[in-house]
Amino acid sequence: MKLTPQPKIWFNGELVDWDKAQVHVLSHALHYASSVFEGIRAYSTPKGPAVFCLAQHVERLFQSCRIVRLPLPWQPAQISQAIRDTVVANRQEACYIRPLVYRGYGALGVLPDDCPVEIAIASFPWVRPNEEQLLANGLAVGVSSWRRMAPDTLPAMAKCAGNYVNSALAVGEAKDRGFQEAVMLDVDGFVSEGSGQNIFLVHKGTVSTPPVGSSILGGITRACVIQLCRDLGIALVEQRLPREMLYTADEAFFTGTVAEVMPIRMVDGLQVGNGARGSLTQRLQERFFTIARGRAEDRHGWLTPVA
Ligand SMILES: Cc1ncc(COP(=O)(O)O)c(C=O)c1O
């Protein structure tokens, strides 16, 4: 997605002009990936723009910082407010929000202790070409030869920059092979997730998704979809999924802040179900969008108005 400049970025406590939010080329994070980030959406609702699952995203940001030992000198309430202030300053109705915490300029060497911990929050429109068509028809995906990292190598549960080398390798390979996305397996060969999405399968009316122990990022959309299954009385299991279950599924879909609820129509050249969006996928997708766009009762408190 190509970026277009917006008015402001929240940078270490101040709203500064978009072009003024800059780093030095010797910043630690550029060399050693000492950074963590979040991806959040604000939706346009009848009551004005609202951030989706703000508290959950801020909580995950602080957890990522804790896991990779980035002491963020702010409180969660301050970051939540800064996120809302950024969207207001940019006068956005619906947007994608990117908080980034990183080690800045000061010293070089793997251990970053002499480098300041900095934070920036940007917001901008997320434009997805053929959005309606994609959400209706879904993606053709391929199982990657790149595995998700083994549990004792990199922290899959942290949304840290270094993990996205793995994601970029997988999605790059998928595109080279003519697929739109990758599905990665975990170190034991069980289904893990996409490059930036969690995965769900449906077999005979039961929805299944890999557990946190399969080297996934604990997706916030994943948690919402699990809740929606409970709300709608749909059977759901979190369990290790052998690769073959991808090829025998009646339905499959990805979840994520960018992906939202995205059907998967083909895996490794085999049609999923009859190759069209499945009925449970459509039901969950509709429920998700109705709540996110403020058109149904927000029973779980997922929406936070920006103003
Ligand atoms: C690797 C990975 N898995 C899953 C997800 C989906 O998580 P969420 O629903 O919180 O956006 C993301 C996106 O943040 C991701 O980068």
pLDDT tens string 16-73:
999 999 999 999 999 999 999 999 999 999 999 999 999 999 999 999 999 999 999 9
CA 209 – ligand 1 centroid, Å: 14
- Read off the pLDDT band of 270 (50, 70, 90): very high
Q: Whose CA is nearest to atom 7 of ligand 1?
A: 219
* pLDDT score of 101: 98
* pLDDT score of 113: 87
Provide the terminal-to-terminal Cα distance of the chain, rounded to the nearest Å: 27
CATH 3.30.470.10 positions along the chain are 8-124
Per-residue pLDDT at 1 exceeds 90: no
Burial (CB count within 10 angstroms: exposed 0-12, middle 13-18, buried 19+), residue 88: middle
Ligand 1 atom closest to Cα of residue 39: 14
The answer, yes or no, to whether any atom of ligand 1 lies below 6 A from the CB of 98, is no
Per-residue pLDDT at 95 exceeds 90: yes
Per-residue pLDDT at 78 exceeds 90: yes
* pLDDT score of 127: 86
CA 114 – ligand 1 centroid, Å: 30
Per-residue pLDDT at 128 exceeds 90: no
User: What's the fold here for domain 8-124?
Assistant: D-amino Acid Aminotransferase; Chain A, domain 1 (3.30.470)
- Rounded to 10°, the helix 54-67/220-232 angle is 130
pTM strictly above 0.85: yes
- Contacts (Cβ under 8 Å, ≥6 apart) of 153: none
Q: Whose CA is nearest to atom 13 of ligand 1?
A: 196
Q: Are strands 40-45 and 48-52 parallel, antiparallel or unpaired?
A: antiparallel
The answer, yes or no, to whether any atom of ligand 1 lies below 6 A from the CB of 123, is no
Q: Which amino acid is at 239?
A: Q
CATH 3.20.10.10 positions along the chain are 131-292
Ligand 1 atom closest to Cα of residue 159: 16
Which residue shows structure tokens 């009385």? 233
What CATH code would you report for 131-292? 3.20.10.10
Helix (H) or strand (E) holding 142: strand 139-143
> Is position 159 annotated as part of the catalytic site?
yes
CA 41 – ligand 1 centroid, Å: 12
Ligand 1 atom closest to Cα of residue 193: 3
